[in-house]
Amino acid sequence: MRQRGLLVFLFGIIIAYAAGSVRAADLAAAYPSRPIRIIAPTTPGGANDILPRLLAPRLSASLGQQIVVDVRPGAGGIVGTEMTARAVADGHTLIVVANGYALNPYLYDKLPYDTLKDLERVTLFAVAPLVLVVHPTVPANSLGELTTLLKARPGQLNYGSSGAGSGGWLSAQLYRRMAGIEMTHIPYKGAGQATTAVVSGEVNLLFTSSLPAAPHIISGRLRALGVTSAKRVSSMESVPAMGESIPGYEVLNFFGVLATGGTPKPILAKLYREIARVTAQPDIRERLEGLGFEVVDQGPDQFTAFVKAEMAKWSKVFVESGIKPTGVQ
């Protein structure tokens, strides 16, 4: 009787597993059942806004549903991230995030969501160094000259960013720490506004994506002094890498897609496959590389490991720099 009971128990487990597998397959097959919203947690013109708009048409065709890009800026990306965390966990609300997603736990003493538990990592699909640009009135034609100028005039020059925790802010903090200089921070609501500020001369310098900066560099309205990588990048070969002058300096902005925590794994897997398929298309890859991005292909598990490593890496920098978390603005 005991042996028979064990067999019944094992048979029940097999049936339940098979049923679960069928349900998982059904979930993936039925998804998406309505339009998908991709939240861009930045003002128009930032990379988090431009990237989903570039991918949306191909992803829409691949998934058979409309893709709507919903711009929701505020509080260093926290507004849009909270909206994603609180959405229905069915894969119909996504968000494109950058570095701030991994850094905000150390910048703010109380987030309205748990960074890892309330959100699912779908894919890390692109990384890119930022470019350091200055207004033409700044008397510096190289990173070395800018460093000398900043040391001679501590705190007198200002730099813009899209807020504490953004890639631009982080790049400036690391430059300040490693070069021994001081600058005044002027935060803006997004990369677009910060770029406008440096073009108009409202701020002296800016670390930003090459995407919004490139037209102004070409026109001469901005001067590029360096990219925040260890080596030069193919899209801006004439611009020196900051790591050439400051050994060990490197900041790479990353871009990934998140879904609401609890979204079924088959849906996450389907999203990852489709996004990877789109970014692998030759014309899309060429377009991304032309804009200064390096296409990468990391699924949910790899992306989660990457985020945890970033959190551990930069938390140490914040502690060493004496940067303490503040309340969400």
pLDDT digits (tens, 9 = 90+) for 28-49: 678 999 999 999 998 777 778 8
**Would 31-128+254-321 and 131-245 be classified into the same CATH topology?**
yes
Strands of the sheet containing 67-71, edge to edge, are 67-71, 36-40, 93-97, 252-260, 119-129, 294-298
Reported residue count of the chain is: 329
Q: Tell which CATH architecture fits domain 131-245.
A: 3-Layer(aba) Sandwich (3.40)
Q: What confidence tens digit (pLDDT) does each residue in 76-86 have? A: 789 999 999 99
Concatenated DSSP letters of 81-141: HHHHHTS-SSSSEEEEE-THHHHHHHHBS--SS-TTTSEEEEEEEEEEE-EEEE-TTSS-S
3-class state of residue 272 by DSSP: helix
Q: Can you tell me the distance from the alpha carbon of 245 to that of 241, in angstroms, rounded to the nearest whole number?
A: 8
In CATH terms, the fold of domain 31-128+254-321 is D-Maltodextrin-Binding Protein; domain 2 (3.40.190)
Cis peptide bond upstream of 325, omega within 30: no
Ramachandran quadrant class, 263 (left: phi over 0; alpha: psi -120 to 50; beta: rest) = beta
pLDDT, one tens digit for every residue, the chain (329 residues): 556 655 555 565 555 554 454 455 566 678 999 999 999 998 777 778 889 999 999 999 999 999 999 998 888 789 999 999 999 999 999 999 988 899 888 888 889 999 999 999 999 999 889 999 999 999 999 999 999 999 999 999 999 998 776 778 889 988 998 999 999 999 998 788 999 999 999 999 999 988 778 899 999 999 999 999 888 887 788 899 999 999 989 888 899 999 999 999 999 999 999 999 999 999 999 988 887 788 999 999 999 999 998 898 888 777 776 777 775 55
Question: Could you tell me the two tokens for 17?
Answer: 């597993």
The domain ranges of the chain are: 31-128+254-321, 131-245
Copy the structure tokens of residue 196.
Answer: 């406008």
